[in-house]
Structure 1
């Protein structure tokens, strides 16, 4: 029997429970051949774990060796290329700031994105309290032992589990003794080093160290970045008790220069629109995990953590004064009504500060979080019980500053030395969340299993806003929700299991969303806040059913899913590039996920296909930065492909040489702001401008090879985007102030900036080569 377990402390009791009947029935020398069994958790604290085939939904699991041998350059790329239903929007252009989507829901580092996936590290929720964002650069990739992706609105994984949950488990000296060092570099000037080392002693003590260093010149202009993080774990396994304490520290400086207008993109795919666009993250997190087995059938798990994160950003943009200048030149009069001379509408360096106005937006975010969770798992006969509770507390201090600037001919935004940065808005806030849950798994008949769970969430969000009028009155909002789930599995025969599940979960508004929810006082993201009206919490309900199984060297899963979200929170932008958060009555995401994995001797084939229909399920109006978009029930949600196919081939040529190929096919995407097929707002006098500004579909091929010349050494190489395809992963409609990247020329009268399609360029062909040493 092969048993794969995903949590330290849970394996021994799970293994004993599963093997004990077999051991009693078998003689000392009789061979026992059983199928592979994956043991996973049903909640962030795994407890005893459960056989994956008993869960009424399709859980995806990847171990560290699969991640290490993957075709992705980091964890988010691995998930996008190997996990069914997962895609990437490269909105920022930085490899560690990718926007991950799963079944139409996002786990994104971009403030203002509609978040819908909860992310856990060793049982600690790492979605930042200010906006529920996830900082992929602060995930300790060298220390990740496994990844579990749970689909749907699952109440057991707490707040923000609208479309799914990601649970990362770190390595330890018990599970990963020994060391591994890896160095890699690319032809685009990217360098990376990873170190992992685990040790254990006979008296139960164990430790682990993992670290990643990353330095990138950036394949786009002005997009260099770097990061460093270190993860340290120390623990002891002593009798029935296992404990560990870990410390995670990291810092990064990443440049993600965002979308490009199409005219500039055609001229130069490596260009940036305006710069700088810098994000600095710093994180310190301490965690203590405890597991105690009262018996082979009962286990208590607990985790406590403290987390401090800092984010500082600098973003250079053309300011609203630039638009005013364009309008003045067309009218022939300035804002005061005085006539303009012809040469005042040309551009010279001296006039730059006055006429080609820019603004440097800087932000400072400080977040402190503490919390604890406890869970107990017990088996009584054939019935399994789970219960748990969690408490989380966070303090947020946010400030945004603006400084007058001008835009150089290279579209660099430089601060005006004569103008000081001014506080434009800020907020101090607190959030308090508590949750309790209970779950039961019980067989109803031979081969039929019932799963039922219930969780109660309560959250209180308090903030005090500061704007141009000074501090505003403190506001507090309280949210409560009881979320149920019910599922069934039925084994038709050893090679096929039917499953069905219905579940509900919720997400409460964050400080940033509540601080920017007044249409009469819009704000700029990631900057600007105003006194806020009430926002409703999002409630999502998922219905899923399918079939899965395994026979000989083949495994497969087919799943139909449908998630409806009531009162989704969206950011509605205004033409002035400001906007506000508001509830949208109803959105719907439904589709099919299918996967088959087949072994042909030394050849492994994995094929997955996803069909996703993500739509607005009510009439409404969106404000998308450049225009007002009237949506109707059935209008597609932008940025999400309807069809995705992934094909992976791995060939073990001999014990020393492995080869692999990976093909990722994605259908076209709706461009944000073009959902209704228009490029401008309708005018009573003129026919509205129509265009199909979809982002075209694309296919990207990646090849890899690894060679082991000696037992401890491995050479590897990877070529991404083999045919150097030009492709895009996201699109948005916005006014192009600098056609072809050019500023206004001397004595030239500008016209109104026309709306254009802005795109997120995909990375060009990249060659990665590296060396791995195990010790």
Structure 2
């Protein structure tokens, strides 16, 4: 009922917004130019200043406009890029349409902690990656607010930290670039309903714009409803030599994404879930003030300042991370015999080990004869895994009694009070508060240098992020439908309270010199100085406290040569760096692994990642009928960081680590154009070969080929697999092919389709490439638009029109740790893609 009421309120507000323009029709004016041969000017820095003709940029830049997004009839920006842009793929790791893992050239921008983030996202010149883990909340960027988007390739230093593989620069709508009024509603499969309304206009000097969008759906999988409300507002002023714009973004979402499921369950029911719920609630408020001023005819000053406040609540129901001690014999706890060992105590005998629920051997041995007493004789109890390390006395080999007993917030030992209702689950509850503010200023100078045309950009930027993270673990029961039921019992020893501050000061330069009328030289770079501070807020110890400093100058250089009016050659080299984030530094100790996204324990230093990138290619156009590109790229990540899983039913326990070098190299080609004057088509192919460049061992406790080792000196256990130079990085499809066609059937009816083919990928946790990849797949999407009147049109979209059963993601886990799955022994989990879905709607424009 609450969702229905909220939808009604949003719909009423949308109607008011959509028709607000009737009050001031003099403010509305519109323009559109779809010509393929128009000179395309692209801003080469986050600030949208003067920009450069695309032909003078020594790398591949892909662009899209709001008209492109409307024509494709897509749900969101990531869906458009996945279906239309080269070298882009999406992994449905969370299995929520608004929480995709976006991949470009083997680099990721994701809302999920634990992934190696390698792309930056800018909105109106402001870095949108969150400071806690460089994650990107795609649910806060609805396609209805976007005017244009540029996808830059390579390790572009001008876009700052984390631009290892590319950058996405988004410009939102305002009263000058998107005048007019629009109301859009559609609904259909999976209970999905979307209402969007916007109004905007200008009188030449003052402009306004507001867009309101509401998304809701039941989800195609069990227990997977989601909802998101987004508001984009803008006020602008245009003077003879100056501009000033205020942008306000607001987002409120409640997303359920229940992730991958065991392949054995997948074969039984694709709509099923493993455990639930997995809820993410985002609340974001963002304010950006940006402006430009021409100091004279050849010099422009640009600047912005911003403030963003994002609060994320996460609630994850999962199998228990604790070990049930009920029924423990009086003479010890033989919960998994490890055979015979020499504990360094001068005697050899049977050894007993305490296993957590994920079957990982947890850093503890008790030699035979040591009694593990229940805190209350005759009553069952549980072990707290994260405290077992302190339970062994290295001098005697005896366990320190009572240190390993699980206690709730009242100090009482936690145990099974009713064997028929076991405490076999937990609720991981966390809150992330992130306040980010800063600004950028740059001067663009167009002048002659040695008598040659030249554009020089000088700029500086500062960004500061304040992070407040808290988490707690609630003991729960797993219900028959594998959702959890809380008990009100919380474990203080597993609570986390952490504060973090990350600040980056940057200076950058970019120069483009026209050596001849057809040959241009580009050079530049950016210096970054980053400080990351972490403070423990619960007083549990000094482990979380730390100060870390990273600095580097990253250069770039390139050439473009306009061979003819139809062919341009380009080539360039660039470097960029990524400083470890707060979440990585707080979870970087292999001896104190943490649970994502909840518990953090220690922060030994990590090295920053440095990307060295080269690309070259050809591109061109033949009037309005054909545009094409062909290029190669090669990027080496020095001292790359990955998350190494040490346990968890879905491999969410582990630590971050520098593992050496990785490489992404490949080829991309594209064709697009018009035939028969008005048939639009495109064809894009990409090859992304992503590999490890060093030999090393990676933790993978659920892998069938794991190598188990025990160190009796420090009582540590490990389960690893070998990774050799040349092994492929999991989660990245090697080949991708995309094709699309839009046909105006009649004056009023247009029909289009696009198809995506991707090859398989290795599963996360199989970095050694021992197991089979996911299967390749092809998915076909169809859309249509019918103009009823000059202002009203109806549209239809169908996704996965062939109803293909395919998976876009895979990971290793332990299904048999969850009740009901005791007979599931295949560690492969995969993320099923949605089945056939169709939606119809109406769009009213004025």
Q: TM-score, normalised by structure 2?
A: 0.81
Q: Is the Cα contact below 8 Å between 2:545 and 2:603 reproduced in 1?
A: no
Counterpart of 2:301?
300
Match of 2:778 among 699, 711, 729: 699
- Is 1:376 paired with 2:443? yes
2:702 aligned residue:
626
Aligned-partner Cα distance in 1 for 2:36–2:91? 42
Does the Cα contact within 8 Å between 1:140 and 1:230 map onto a contact in 2?
A: no
For residues 193 and 127 of structure 1, what CA distance do their matches in structure 2 show? 27
Match of residue 736 from structure 2: 644
Equivalent pair of 2:55/2:562 in contact (CA under 8 Å): no
Equivalent residue number for residue 21 of structure 2: none
Rate the CA distance shift 1:419–1:441 in 2: closer, same or farther, 3 A. Answer: closer
User: For structure 2, which runs of at least 5 residues remain unmatched after alignment?
Assistant: 1-34, 338-351, 355-370, 382-415, 704-719
The equivalent of 2:424 in structure 1 is 357
Tell me how far 1:674 sits from its aligned partner.
2.8
CA contact (8 A) 1:402 1:422 kept: no
- Residues 37-71 of structure 1 deviation map (CA, whole Å, 9 limit, x = unaligned): 00110100121111001111110010001011215
**1:591 equivalenced with 2:592 (yes/no):** no
What are the within-5 Å matches in structure 2 for residues 167-566 of structure 1?
167-202=169-204, 204-321=205-322, 350-354=418-422, 357-381=424-448, 382-419=453-490, 424-466=495-537, 469-470=540-541, 472=543, 474-552=545-623, 553-566=625-638
1:725 is the counterpart of 2:804: yes
Instruction: Select the residue among 627, 643, 648 that pairs with 1:571.
Output: 643
Correspondence for 1:29: none
Partner of 1:582: 657
Shift of 1:334: 11
Q: CA deviation at 1:575?
A: 3.0
CA distance in 2, matches of 1:466, 1:620: 36
The CA deviation string for residues 311-368 of structure 1, in whole angstroms up to 9 with x for no partner, is 01000111133588899897699976799x9xx9xxx9942544x5111100111111
The verdict on how the C-alpha distance between 1:423 and 1:88 changes in structure 2, with shifts beyond 3 A counting, is same
Residue 656 in 1 paired to residue 748 in 2?
Answer: yes
Whether the 8 Å CA contact 1:140–1:211 is kept in 2: the answer is: no
1:138 corresponds to 2:140: yes
Picking from 92, 97, 100, the partner of 2:99 is: 97
**1:635 match:** 727
Q: Is the 8 A contact 1:566 1:584 kept in 2?
A: no
Is the deviation greater in 421-430 or in 392-401?
Answer: 421-430
Contact 1:259-1:759 within 8 A present in 2 as well: yes
Distance in 1 (CA, whole Å) between partners of 2:121 and 2:325 is 43
Q: How does 1:127-166 map to 2 (within 5 A)?
A: 127-166=129-168
In the TM superposition, what whole-angstrom CA distance separates every residue of 1:393-412 from its partner, at most 9, and x where no partner exists? 11100011001112112111
Specify every segment of 5 or more residues in structure 1 that has no aligned partner in the other structure, as ranges: 1-32, 679-691, 745-750
Shift of 1:712: 0.5
Which residue number in structure 1 is paired with residue 358 of structure 2?
Answer: none
Q: Given the alignment of the two structures, is residue 608 of structure 1 paired with residue 676 of structure 2, yes or no?
A: no
Q: Is the 8 A contact 2:275 2:482 kept in 1?
A: yes
Per-residue CA distance 1:446-473 (angstroms, 9 max, x = gap)? 3111000121111001111356834657
Matches within 5 A, 1:729-740: 729-737=808-816
1:532-575 CA-to-partner distances (Å, cap 9, x unmatched) read: 11111110011000000011311100110000000111111113
Secondary structure of 1:167's counterpart equals strand
Q: CA deviation at 1:629?
A: 2.4
Give the TM-score of the pair, scaled to structure 1.
Answer: 0.89
Q: CA shift at 1:723, angstroms? A: 1.4
C-alpha separation in 1, matches of 2:635 and 2:777: 27
C-alpha distance 413-468 of structure 1, shift in aligned 2 (>3 A)? farther
Residue of structure 1 equivalent to 2:340: none
Change in CA separation of 1:712 and 1:323 when aligned onto 2, cut-off 3 Å: farther
In structure 1, what is the Cα distance between the partners aligned to 2:49 and 2:528? 21
When residues 337 and 477 of structure 1 are mapped into structure 2, their CA distance, relative to the original with a 3 A threshold, is: closer
Q: Report the CA distance between 1:625 and its aligned residue.
A: 5.5
Cα deviation, residue 209, structure 1: 0.2
CA offset at residue 605 of structure 1? Answer: 1.5
Deviates more, 1:305-314 or 1:238-247: 238-247
Query: Cα distance 1:115–1:665, how it changes in 2: closer, same or farther (>3 A)?
Result: same
Note the C-alpha offset of 1:624: 3.9
Q: Following TM superposition, by how much is the alpha carbon of 1:246 offset from its aligned partner in structure 2, in angstroms?
A: 1.7
What is the Cα deviation at residue 676 of structure 1? Answer: 2.9
Go from structure 1 to structure 2 and tell me whether the alpha carbon gap of 1:256 and 1:501 turns closer, same or farther (over 3 Å shift): same
Corresponding residue for residue 17 of structure 1: none
1:180-226, Cα deviation, whole Å (9 max, x unpaired): 11111122100111112111124x11110011101110111111010
RMSD over aligned Cα atoms:
2.5
How many residues get paired? 716
Residues in 2 aligned to 1:535 and 1:321: alpha-carbon distance in whole angstroms = 30
Change (3 A) 1:303 1:158: same
Counterpart CA distance in 2 for 1:725 and 1:325 is 47
Aligned twin of 1:742: 820
> 2:119·2:167 contact (CA, 8 Å) conserved in 1?
yes
Change (3 A) 1:724 1:140: closer
| Shift in alpha-carbon separation, 1:326–1:532, aligned structure 2, 3 A | farther
CA distance in 1, matches of 2:182, 2:104: 31
Inter-partner Cα distance in structure 2 for 1:47 and 1:743: 58
Partners of 1:722 and 1:407 in 2: CA distance: 37
Candidates 61, 64, 73, aligned match of 1:62: 64
Q: Specify the alignment match of 2:367 in structure 1.
A: none
Contact in 1 for aligned 2:811/2:829 (Cα 8 Å): yes
1:675 Cα deviation (Å)?
A: 3.6
Three-state SS of the structure 2 residue aligned to 1:278 is strand
Q: 1:372 to 1:556 in 2, by over 3 A?
A: same
- Tell whether the 8 Å contact from 2:113 to 2:133 is kept in structure 1 after alignment: yes
Taking the aligned partners of 1:480 and 1:359, their CA distance within structure 2 comes to: 41
Q: Where does residue 681 of structure 1 map in the other structure?
A: none
- Whether the 8 Å contact between 2:740 and 2:755 is mirrored in structure 1 is yes
Secondary structure of 2:660's match?
Answer: strand
Cα distance, 1:755 vs structure 2: 4.5
Judged with a 3 Å threshold, the aligned counterparts in structure 2 of structure 1 residues 157 and 226 are, in CA distance, closer, same or farther, namely: same
